[in-house]
Structures are given as structure tokens and as C-alpha cells.
Amino acid sequence: MKLGRIGIKVWDLRFDARDELYLMIDKHYKKLPRNSDGTIKDEHPSYNDNDIDALRHSYVSAVYVLEFSENTAEFLGRLQEGLDPREEEIKSFNMDLWNNALGRQYGKKHKRGEDLFFALLKALKNGELIITPQDSRKYKGAKAIKRLPKSLVIKIQENITGANIEFFDVRNKIVMNKEEFITAIKVGNYPGYAIKKHVSGDYPYSTRDRFSFNNLG
């Protein structure tokens, strides 16, 4: 059994979603800066701490819900914002977490693509998204991740009964199915995890309980 399928889809899905969004923004909302070859710029100062920023965070977060789950989207969103922001970053961090959370709500209601984009664009125009760090609204959910454990594995897929069947090693960026993860635990690759016996079969779980963002229990 080969262990360690690359987890590019998990970690870099945000770039695919971002590029989808920029095309729709350019077509339906406002023109975006372009490279010399005519393609839309991936990054630009005009994308930060404003309406484009708000749409990007909410859209990417919604796509994570559609591709994985709400809990996985919440964790990956916070992880991508960085660990324990500095004082001067707190307001922007709050803005990003707010928009991520709103995106998760829309991800449960709309499919990926223009249907989702137009729903979020309407939310933007209705004032639901935060488009400036100076907005006084405060995100009330989980805050910054101050540090990561040496090994961190999250669930990214369940079967129809709700059992965890696919996992993502955050530090090493690899995807494992349940059998691969159990094998890796048995050989000592993941000391923070153990295996429980159940009538339906073995399943992996986290032995740590101080990290509230770990979704393996």
C-alpha cells in the first residue's frame, strides 16, 4: 500500500477557486488588473482589504465547504490566515474570518460557480460582507491558531454513514485513506493518534484534546 498521495487538491484548491472568482468578477462586477499577456493578475495591491478581498475569502471558503465539509473549511480558512496575527494585523484578520464564515454559510446553499458568485455579490451589496478592516463588526467564532502540533491530521471526507474515510496531513500535505492512516499510526508515524476498535471496524482518532481545531475528536 503506497502511503502519501500528494494533497495538492486540499491545500491549493484555494488558488483554483480564486482564479474562478477573478474571472467572474472581471466579467460581471468590475475589471481587474491584467498581465502583459492579457491574463488577470493573481495578486495586486487593489485586491487587499476591500470588496475584492471580501469576495475572495467568502468564495474560497464556500468552495471548501462544497468540496469537503463545513468544519474542514473553517479550519483551513483559519490556517491559511496564518498563526497568531500581530497587533497591526488583527483588524484585517477579523475581516477575513468574518468573510470566511459568511462564505461557509453560502457554501451550504449554493453550488460552485456563477450561482455562488452572484449570491455572494448580492451579499456584498447588501452589506453582509466586511469590506474594510475598520468595520466595527466582530467575528465571534474561533480565533487565531497560535501554534500547530508536530503532527496534525484532519478529516476531509466522510462516507454516507458519517464515518471518516479520508484524511489530510497538514504539515506534510499528503492525503491518506483510512487504511493508510491506520497503517501509519501503527508504525509510529503519528504519535498523537491512536486506533479504536469498533464493531464496524477500526478507526483512527486524536489522543490530543487541547487542540480544539482538530476534527478527529
* pLDDT tens-place string over residues 196-210: 887 777 888 888 655
pLDDT score for 3: 47
Contact 132, 49 (CB under 8 A): yes
pLDDT score for 62: 96
Lowest mean pLDDT: which of 48-52, 104-108, 149-153? 149-153
Q: Could you give phi then psi for residue 193, rounded to 5 degrees? A: -130, 155
pLDDT score for 144: 63
Instruction: Find the helix packing angle between 51-67 and 114-125, rounded to 10°.
Output: 140
Mean pLDDT of 116-138: 97
Question: What average pLDDT does the structure give for the chain?
Answer: 86
pLDDT digits (tens, 9 = 90+) for 78-105: 777 766 677 778 899 999 999 999 999 9
Residue 214 reports pLDDT greater than 90: no
